[in-house]
């Protein structure tokens, strides 16, 4: 079984009709360097909507009718590559299917350990590594800094805040709803949380951080970014990780009106892609694994069972219904 892309959701919400189910897909034959993989677990990422729209300049263009792409973990069933054997656990760009043929050169082996698929797609995968490299290399947090994280209760944001605490920062998370905010402070150790759906973000940040924001981690963009740029401290580092507020909008949002504060505060604003740090991913993974073993960081996620639920599950991200990393379990 697989799900294919049926329509491009440009400038609108994702809907169920954007995907089509194919219950008897052709299996294909293995060529040299191919692996046949049983898909075990799939990651839900806001970027997948951009891949469907063909607007993500860094990703391979998608076609209507192709299997919906997704980062995932699978087990090798058959191998035409010297580097992989049946039974190996692998990770890479897979898709919404229970079985796939993929290029071995595009896969990496995953350590077979308890909870391997969850960890490989969460803390030790793109969410954790994005948080780690964006924060340590661009945010460069110092002990005593005020770190503000938008999209704080999501897969990336929930890890950024915990890394900020390890670095000795005072961490303020911004998320939608009182439950998420309580969860951030009570379970993840954030110092404060602001419910952007009920509170005035700018005023609350002024109260909580009268000296301003030293490191601003932005997953959201739009008005939220503009409000927070107005509150940065001198020499602030603004890390642009994502812009989910614009992923469903028509056209480009207006530029942040407060951008000139970057000049007044001698600050720096920098975007990045996780791939920029590809050479060092293993270093990041080792560091995160160590903190996990020491109990200094946790992975919080939601696992939804069943490939048949993939479209509804991905839509949860854009409705703010997830807490932590959102995953789809395809098979045990
Ligand atoms: N630069 C990179 O290499 C890289 C890598 C991975 C991810 N990212 C980006 O990082 C961001 C977070 O990704 P993630 O995987 O951790 O997703 P996520 O935060 O787990 O899920 C998305 C969350 O965004 C919030 N949201 C949805 N629509 C929103 C809107 N219109 N305005 C404000 N908030 C909205 C919701 O939380 P609330 O209920 O709190 O609103 C939702 O739970 C995304 O923008 C993603 O594209 C970048």
CB-based contacts of 173, cutoff 8 Å, min separation 6? 148, 149, 152, 153, 157, 161, 181, 184, 185, 188, 190, 192, 193, 194
**150-200, pLDDT tens digit by residue?**
999 999 999 999 999 999 999 999 999 999 999 999 999 999 999 999 999
Identify the H or E element spanning 99: strand 99-103
Q: What is the pLDDT of residue 237?
A: 98
Q: How far is the CA of 11 from the centre of ligand 1 (A)?
A: 17
Share of the chain above pLDDT 70, in %: 100
Share of the chain above pLDDT 90, in %: 93
Q: Which of 41-50, 57-66, 106-115, 311-320 has the lowest mean pLDDT?
A: 57-66
**Position 297 confidence tier, pLDDT thresholds 50, 70, 90:** very high
**195-232, pLDDT tens digit by residue?**
999 999 999 999 999 999 999 999 999 999 999 999 99
Question: Across residues 91-116, what is the average pLDDT?
Answer: 96
What tokens appear for 11 in the block? 């400038």
Q: What is the pLDDT of residue 60?
A: 87
Q: What is the pLDDT of residue 26?
A: 87
Contact criterion met (CB below 8 Å) for 303 and 40: no
Q: What is the pLDDT of residue 255?
A: 83
**Position 58 confidence tier, pLDDT thresholds 50, 70, 90:** confident
Question: Across residues 9-33, what is the average pLDDT?
Answer: 94
Q: What are phi and psi of 205, to 5 degrees?
A: -65, -40
pTM of the full structure: 0.97
Q: Where is mean pLDDT largest: 23-32, 57-66, 272-281?
A: 272-281
The rounded distance, in Å, linking the Cα atoms of 14 and 297 is 33
Nearest CA to ligand 1 atom 31: 245
Of the candidates 72, 127, 63, the one whose C-alpha atom is nearest the C-alpha of residue 102 is: 72
Nearest CA to ligand 1 atom 26: 320
Q: Which of 14-18, 27-31, 298-302, 308-312 has the lowest mean pLDDT?
A: 27-31
Q: How far is the CA of 47 from the centre of ligand 1 (A)?
A: 9
The rounded distance, in Å, linking the Cα atoms of 155 and 303 is 12
What tokens appear for 115 in the block? 């909870």
Judged against a pLDDT cut of 80, whether residue 252 lies above it is answered with no
Rg (CA), the chain: 20
Pocket of ligand 1, beta carbon within 6 A: 45-47, 126-127, 130, 151, 153-157, 175-176, 180, 219-220, 241-245, 272-274, 317-318, 320, 322, 326
Ligand 1 atom at shortest distance from the alpha carbon of 324? 20
* Beta-carbon count within 10 A of 120 CB: 26
Q: Which domains are present in the chain?
A: 2-122+300-329 (3.90.180.10), 126-275 (3.40.50.720)
In degrees to the nearest 10, what's the CA dihedral of 231, 232, 238, 241? Answer: -20
Q: What are the DSSP E strand ranges found in 167-300?
A: 170-175, 192-195, 213-218, 232-240, 268-271
For a mutational test of ligand 1's pocket, the pick from 320, 322, 326, 327, i.e. the residue with the most ligand atoms closer than 8 A to its C-beta, is: 320
Judged against a pLDDT cut of 90, whether residue 23 lies above it is answered with yes
Judged against a pLDDT cut of 80, whether residue 271 lies above it is answered with yes
Please report how many Cα atoms fall inside a 13 Å half-sphere around the Cα of residue 120, on the Cβ side: 23
Q: What are the DSSP E strand ranges found in 120-168?
A: 146-150
242-281: buried (b, 16+ CB within 10 Å) or exposed (e) per residue?
bbbbebeeeeeeeebebeebbeebebebeeeebeebeeeb
Of the candidates 65, 52, 128, 112, the one whose C-alpha atom is nearest the C-alpha of residue 325 is: 128
Nearest CA to ligand 1 atom 46: 242
Judged against a pLDDT cut of 80, whether residue 253 lies above it is answered with no
Q: What is the mean pLDDT of the chain?
A: 96
In degrees to the nearest 10, what's the CA dihedral of 225, 271, 44, 116? Answer: -130
Q: How far is the CA of 331 from the centre of ligand 1 (A)?
A: 26
Question: Across residues 304-331, what is the average pLDDT?
Answer: 97
Contact criterion met (CB below 8 Å) for 38 and 329: no
Q: What is the pLDDT of residue 131?
A: 98
Judged against a pLDDT cut of 90, whether residue 59 lies above it is answered with no
The rounded distance, in Å, linking the Cα atoms of 227 and 105 is 44
Q: What is the pLDDT of residue 254?
A: 78
The rounded distance, in Å, linking the Cα atoms of 67 and 163 is 35
**Position 118 confidence tier, pLDDT thresholds 50, 70, 90:** very high
**Position 236 confidence tier, pLDDT thresholds 50, 70, 90:** very high
């Amino acid at each position: 079984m697989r799900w294919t892309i049926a329509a491009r959701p440009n400038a609108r919400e994702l809907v169920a009709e954007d995907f089509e189910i194919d219950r008897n897909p052709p299996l294909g034959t293995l060529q040299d360097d191919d692996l046949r993989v049983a898909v075990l677990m799939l990651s839900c990422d806001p970027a997948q909507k951009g891949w469907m729209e063909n607007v993500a300049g860094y990703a391979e263009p998608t076609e209507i009718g192709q299997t919906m792409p997704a980062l995932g973990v699978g087990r090798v069933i058959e191998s035409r590559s010297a580097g992989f054997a049946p039974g190996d656990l692998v990770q890479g760009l897979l898709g919404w299917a229970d079985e796939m043929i993929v290029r071995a050169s595009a896969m990496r082996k995953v350590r077979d350990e308890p909870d391997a698929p969850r960890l490989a797609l969460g803390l030790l995968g793109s969410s954790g590594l994005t948080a780690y490299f964006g924060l340590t290399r661009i945010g460069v947090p110092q002990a005593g800094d005020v770190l503000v994280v938008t999209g704080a209760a999501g897969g990336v944001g929930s890890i950024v805040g915990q890394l900020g605490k390890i670095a000795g920062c005072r961490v303020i998370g911004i998320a939608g709803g009182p439950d998420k905010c309580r969860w951030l402070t009570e379970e993840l150790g954030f110092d404060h949380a602001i419910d952007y759906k009920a509170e005035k973000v700018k005023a609350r940040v002024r109260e909580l951080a009268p000296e301003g924001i030293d490191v601003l981690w932005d997953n959201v963009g739009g008005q939220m970014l503009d409000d927070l740029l107005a509150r940065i401290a001198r020499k602030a580092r603004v890390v642009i990780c994502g812009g989910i507020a614009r992923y469903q909008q028509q056209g480009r949002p207006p530029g942040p009106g407060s951008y000139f504060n970057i000049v007044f505060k001698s600050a720096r604003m920098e975007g990045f892609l996780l791939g920029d740090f590809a050479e060092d991913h293993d270093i990041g993974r080792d560091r995160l694994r160590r903190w996990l073993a020491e109990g200094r960081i946790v992975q919080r996620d939601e696992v939804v069972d069943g490939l048949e639920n993939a479209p509804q599950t991905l839509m949860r991200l854009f409705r703010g219904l997830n807490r932590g990393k959102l995953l789809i379990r395809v098979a045990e």
